[in-house]
Amino acid sequence: MSQPWWSSEAMWRKCAIWVTAVMVVVLMGLTFDTVRQITAGGERVPGYDVINKKIFYEYDADRGYQVPRIGEDAPLFGQTLTAADAEALVEKGKLTTQAKNCMNCHTLLGNGSYFAPDLTKSWLDPAWINEGLREELMLNFLQDPMNNARTFGTGRRMPDLNITDEEARAVVAFLKWMSSIDTNGFPRGFTPLKQED
Amino acid sequence: MSEAAANPIDRAEETDDGNRPGQKLALYYFSAAMVLFAAQILFGLIIGLQYLYPDLLYNVLDFSVARMVHINAMIVWLLMGFIGCIYWLVEDEAGRDLVGAKLAFVNFWILTGAVAVVVAVYLFVQIGPGELRSIWLINEGREYIEAPRWADIGIVVCVLIFFYNVAATFTKGRWSGISGVLVLDLIALAALYLAGMYFTPNISVDQHWWWWVVHLWVEATWEVLVGCIMAWGLIRTLGANRRIVTTWLYIEVAMMFGSGILGLGHHYFWIGTPEYWLTIGGFFSALEPIPLVAMVVHAVYDAGRHGFKSSNHPALAWLIAHAFGNFFGAGVWGFMHTLPQINLYTHGTQWTASHGHLAFFGAYATIVIAIIYLAIQKARGDVWMSGALPGNGFAWKWSLALLNIGVLGMTVALLISGYEQSFVERALEGSTWSAYFEAQQTPWFVQGMQWRMVFGWITAAGLALLLWDLATIGRRETRPVQVLNPVPA
């Protein structure tokens, strides 16, 4: 019995191979461009020394949502760092978030677990009351979360993660840098900390 | 003479004495997988309770630790289940005993021992200082691939040994369409794991490559892997025609990789990656359910064509559960929040948890359980497992029902919580920390979490019954397996 072409095993084998090959090639092309754009200091992800600057949110009428902007000097903990030192500090902060397993309670860039709030824009969160108090409140919270619990009435407290002062400062640097990433308007409709002019 | 009868591959089982090394090894892997399945459910119950009672085990076994064990136990039991499935079918498909069987047994014990050490460190060390040695020795702190780096390297070595066993067995035996797809898929699966094995301070770059592992495993290579297992399973449970099954497999590969590879883009909406991913990810992930529809049609058509007569009723029932679970869990529940206009509100909420529960269970747990039933049947002496089992087969039927009702119930409960969360936190309150916590306290969110817990207990009851059934089914059976004649094309 002759086999119609559309149900032939050989035809579909070739089809599977070609479709897969084409998709892999397209993905590789897109990957080169994407990695170029998300490298720190690239178009969408600022360099680590952005922690020396003020980061704020502004509505972009063309894109239809708020985007992070980089303003005047506003060194973290009052100390302006070189690009290399800023990178080392953010790196320490990122390592700490991994070593303390933050992602299995929180989300970062929306990915992780849903037991605690998203950290993408936590540097800009109104929970820190104002820019003057923010750094101190963040350090206190990270190092002694049991006595500085921020449960908003839920009873969900962050556990004590043995975070040292050095680690806490590095985590804050990492969070400040992360808040400057262009996330295409995520999280939706974010209301930032009241920004001083 | 029919084509199927003429095909020597379909006569392979006739020469199978049921005592082959690969099939023995598969039983080891299945046993380890079931232990980890139990661990997954146990830790799932703990974290479900922690949503309702946040002080439960606070500073002893915190949510982050229990949740890591919950999801890692799942990933590892499914992988061990897949490895078991492949060791089970490789000799049948290749027509010879496993090549390098001794090495394969040593490999099993090394892998199992390593998993035990990793879990012990997760539970008793939990976290480390913010230094590289923590991610080398304790955990990497990256969802799903938390295993410390030493274990990553060990996993790669173990997978390479497994790959050698499988590829060498086919090479020295014989190849088929199913085995060709399987081996190429295993190469991709192993290579992709390497994308997750490095540290960078840049979280956008980190998550970009992290999704290569997580998405291209779960939504591409794992799907093709279960397609291969399903193809073999349909031939074995129903005596389905090999040529038709293989053609279907190629169609599924074309559609799965055709949609799933660029469907990766739906994870690139909000992590700093360029805006063109909104279009690419939205479009291709909208196509992702199509191959899953094809798989349902394929499985149900085959089962219907054979009048639902099968040599192993529990296995066939779980294969059908897989076809529907894959379609609803991965396909429908994935599509519901995959378009960027919706995902902007749902990303990082309980919507994802809802989708995750039904997808991992429906697409993957089900098919591993199906193949375990096939394996148990042969291990108990090729006994009867068609209709009219003792007690009308209540244990397998009730465990199937309880597990499916339990997981589906959790999925719907989490979805209701997710709706409430995305509405209150994102749409109304401005996505701040206080908005997050306000959403967590709304009555509908809390009720969703309570119902999730109820269905979690039902799932646990289903698992207990499943384990009991697997331990006992066929032990006192005296009737031989029902022989099915392959249906001609």
ipTM for the complex shown: 0.96
Predicted pLDDT of residue B485: 66
**Which residues in chain B show pLDDT less than 70?**
1-18, 485-489
Q: Which of A17-26, A182-191, B352-361, B479-488 has the lowest mean pLDDT?
A: B479-488
> Please, is A61 exposed, middle or buried when counting C-beta atoms within 10 Å of its C-beta (0-12, 13-18, 19+)?
exposed
For residue A25, what are the contacts with CB-CB under 8 A and spacing of at least 6?
none
CA dihedral B313, B318, B322, B323 (to 10 degrees): 20
For residue A86, what are the contacts with CB-CB under 8 A and spacing of at least 6?
A47, A48, A49, A50, A51, A52, A173
**Please, are residues B2 and B10 in contact by the beta-carbon 8 Å criterion?**
no
Interchain pair A150, B143: CB under 8 A: no
Interchain pair A98, B134: CB under 8 A: yes
- What average pLDDT does the segment A156-160 reach? 95
Residue A130 forms contact with B (CB below 8 Å): no
**Please, are residues B248 and B224 in contact by the beta-carbon 8 Å criterion?**
no
Residues 24-63 of A with CB under 8 A from B: 24, 26-27, 30, 33-35, 37-40, 43-45, 48
> Please, is B117 exposed, middle or buried when counting C-beta atoms within 10 Å of its C-beta (0-12, 13-18, 19+)?
middle
> Please, is B149 exposed, middle or buried when counting C-beta atoms within 10 Å of its C-beta (0-12, 13-18, 19+)?
middle
**Please, are residues B277 and B208 in contact by the beta-carbon 8 Å criterion?**
no
Predicted pLDDT of residue B419: 97
Helix (H) or strand (E) holding A112: strand A111-112
Give which of A188, A193, A194 to mutate to test B binding, by max B Cβ within 10 Å. A188
Kindly report whether the global pTM for this prediction surpasses the value 0.90.
Answer: yes
Interchain pair B202, A38: CB under 8 A: yes
Listing DSSP states for B176-200 in one string gives -HHHHHHHHHHHHHHHHHGGG----
CA atoms within 13 A on the CB side of A96: 23
Predicted pLDDT of residue A92: 98
Structure confidence by residue, pLDDT tens digits, A4-14: 888 899 999 99
Buried b (16+ CB within 10 A) or exposed e, B202-220: bbbbbbbbbbbbbbbbbbb
Domain A48-178, CATH: 1.10.760.10
Listing DSSP states for B23-50 in one string gives HHHHHHHHHHHHHHHHHHHHHHHHHHHH
Alpha helices, DSSP H only, in B194-265?
203-216, 222-238, 242-263
Q: How far is CA A193 from the centre of its chain?
A: 17
Integer Rg of chain A from CA? 22
Query: Shortest CB distance from B139 goes to which of A16, A20, A101?
Result: A101
Residues 80-119 of A with CB under 8 A from B: 87, 90-105, 107-115, 117-118
When comparing pLDDT for B308 and A96, which is higher?
A: A96
Token readout for B37 is 């399945």
Residue A151 forms contact with B (CB below 8 Å): yes
Query: Shortest CB distance from B270 goes to which of A33, A43, A109?
Result: A109
User: How many residues can be counted in chain B?
Assistant: 489
Cα A24 to Cα B178: distance, rounded to the nearest angstrom: 21
Residue in chain B closest to A179 (alpha carbons) equals B272
Give which of B58, B136, B204 to mutate to test A binding, by max A Cβ within 10 Å. B204
Angstroms from A91 CA to nearest CA on chain B: 5
Q: State how far the alpha carbon of A60 is from the alpha carbons of A64, A66, B10, B397, in Å.
A: 6, 6, 64, 57
A53 phi, psi to nearest 5 deg: -115, 165
When comparing pLDDT for A76 and B19, which is higher?
A: A76
Interchain pair B65, A12: CB under 8 A: no
Interchain pair B250, A157: CB under 8 A: no
Structure confidence by residue, pLDDT tens digits, B28-66: 999 999 999 999 999 999 999 999 999 999 999 999 999
Angstroms from A95 CA to nearest CA on chain B: 5
> Around Cβ B377, how many Cβ atoms within 10 Å?
24
Cα B67 to Cα B71: distance, rounded to the nearest angstrom: 6
Interchain pair A152, B274: CB under 8 A: no
> For all residues of chain A together, what is the average pLDDT?
94
Cα B104 to Cα B237: distance, rounded to the nearest angstrom: 27
> Around Cβ A72, how many Cβ atoms within 10 Å?
6
Of A71, A64, A55, A105, the residue nearest A189 (C-alpha): A64
Chain B residues in contact with A101 by the CB 8 A cut-off are 64-65, 68, 126-127, 139, 141, 146
Buried b (16+ CB within 10 A) or exposed e, B422-439: bbbbbeebbbbbbbbbbb
Predicted pLDDT of residue A197: 53
Chain A residues in contact with B65 by the CB 8 A cut-off are 101, 104
Cα B487 to Cα B244: distance, rounded to the nearest angstrom: 11
